[in-house]
Structure 1
Amino acid sequence: MQRPLIEFWYDFASTYSYLAAMRIEAAAEAADVGVVWRPFLLGPIFAAQGWNTSPFNLYPEKGRYMWRDMEREAAKLGLPFCRPDPFPQNSLLAARVGLVGAEQGWIGAFTKAVFRAEFAKGRAIGDPAVLAEILAGLGQDADAVLAEAQGETNKARLRRVGEEAQARGIFGAPTFVADDREVFWGNDRLERALEWAVAHGRRSDWPV
């Protein structure tokens, strides 16, 4: 019997997605659950709610809590952490590159490298040169990948991913979706999502 899977929906600009991305592989492996990496953009979802930026910016008290909570949680996990400037970062190109990585099998390594650059080193992930450096470090042809990422076919693919997220009621990141479409939101729900995936089996229409 094939093991269950969870979808990991994340935006590269999302603070708590950083924490989840850096620990999901080990947690999923321990639970014998596979991970499907699903980069997407929160911007259109926020815009549909009338927000023009992150709610952490719109609501200062919430933002202050989040930054302190991130410091605590990163320290607990032994992860370096710094605030990106500006926040949120422009994650459009990183998401497009992530979709190419999903097709070619290096999305996990790319995702973690982007989050480290952003939240551990304070680098600008919207800068093509930063992403090119990350891709080269992964042994990829950066120019070819960036060209494919910015092609019309891939741009349309990311738009469809965003439409799928909205149609499925995803409203924040990180979000974890089990085989039976049960949804869990937030880094602190990762373990619960894995438990649910194990208890409720594997959906038959996942790609092998």
Structure 2
Amino acid sequence: MSRPVLEFWYEFASTYSYLSAMRIEREAEAAGIEIAWRPFLLGPIFAAQGWTTSPFNLYPAKGRYMWRDMEREAAALGLPCRKPEPFPQNSLLAARVALLAAGHPWEPTFVKAVYRAEFGEGRDISDPATVREILLHLGLDADRILREAQTDANKARLRAQCDEARERGIFGAPSFITPDGEMFWGNDRLDRALAWAARRGSAG
């Protein structure tokens, strides 16, 4: 019998998506859940609300709290935490590569490597050289992958995925959507999302 699938909607510029990405495989396996990795961009969603940057920049007190919270949560998971400059990062190229990776064994490995470079080491993921280095470190044909990621067809796929996120009511990252369409938002809701997906899967 096939296992229930939980959609993991993540944005590479999202701090809390970093925490979820680094633990979701282990916790999903324990819950008997498959993960569908769904990269998207928050920029267009924020722009529709009149925001020109992250709400953590628009509201400094909220931003200060978030970074301190990230330090605590990352430490609890045994993860490094470093603020990249600038924040938020331009995640377009990384998202295009992640979308191209969909269904391939290196998909989750690439996603986690990007997050580790960005929020663990404070590196600039908008720089193609950073993404290329990550791909090479994974033993992949970096130049071919980068070329394919920048094709018109792959760009259109990412636009369509971002449109889907907006149409489905996603407003932040990470977001998790269960097989019956229930949405959970935030790293602190990952456990609830997995439990919900497992219950609905066993009921089906």
Work out whether the TM-score is over 0.5: yes
**In the TM superposition, what whole-angstrom CA distance separates every residue of 1:47-91 from its partner, at most 9, and x where no partner exists?**
011101000000111101101100110011110010011000010
| Residues 1-208 of structure 1 aligned to structure 2 (within 5 Å) | 1-201=1-201
Structure 2 counterpart of 1:197, one-letter code: A
1:107, distance to aligned residue in structure 2 (A) = 1.2
Checking the alignment, whether the CA contact within 8 Å between 1:117 and 1:123 is kept in structure 2 is: yes
Structure 1 counterpart of 2:180, one-letter code: D
- Structure 1's unaligned 5+ residue stretches are none
Checking the alignment, whether the CA contact within 8 Å between 1:8 and 1:35 is kept in structure 2 is: yes
Provide the C-alpha distance between the structure 2 equivalents of 1:76 and 1:105, rounded to a whole number of angstroms.
Answer: 28
**In the TM superposition, what whole-angstrom CA distance separates every residue of 1:29-49 from its partner, at most 9, and x where no partner exists?**
010100000010000000011
The structure 1 segments of at least 4 consecutive aligned residues displaced by more than 4 Å after TM superposition are: none
Provide the C-alpha distance between the structure 2 equivalents of 1:24 and 1:180, rounded to a whole number of angstroms.
Answer: 19
Structure 2 counterpart of 1:161, one-letter code: Q
1:103, distance to aligned residue in structure 2 (A) = 4.4
More moved, 193-202 vs 81-90: 193-202
Checking the alignment, whether the CA contact within 8 Å between 1:4 and 1:198 is kept in structure 2 is: yes
Provide the C-alpha distance between the structure 2 equivalents of 1:157 and 1:25, rounded to a whole number of angstroms.
Answer: 25
1:111, distance to aligned residue in structure 2 (A) = 0.3
CA pair 203-117 structure 1, distance change in 2 beyond 3 A: farther
Checking the alignment, whether the CA contact within 8 Å between 1:6 and 1:36 is kept in structure 2 is: yes
CA pair 88-14 structure 1, distance change in 2 beyond 3 A: same
**In the TM superposition, what whole-angstrom CA distance separates every residue of 1:156-199 from its partner, at most 9, and x where no partner exists?**
00000000000000000000100001000000000000000011
**What percent of counterpart residues are identical?**
68
Provide the C-alpha distance between the structure 1 equivalents of 2:170 and 2:45, rounded to a whole number of angstroms.
Answer: 8
- SS of alignment partner, residue 51 of structure 1: coil
CA RMSD of aligned residues (A): 1.3
CA pair 103-198 structure 1, distance change in 2 beyond 3 A: closer
**In the TM superposition, what whole-angstrom CA distance separates every residue of 1:131-170 from its partner, at most 9, and x where no partner exists?**
1111111121100000000010000000000000000000
Checking the alignment, whether the CA contact within 8 Å between 1:4 and 1:203 is kept in structure 2 is: no
Provide the C-alpha distance between the structure 2 equivalents of 1:139 and 1:72, rounded to a whole number of angstroms.
Answer: 33
- Structure 2's unaligned 5+ residue stretches are none
Provide the C-alpha distance between the structure 1 equivalents of 2:30 and 2:122, rounded to a whole number of angstroms.
Answer: 31
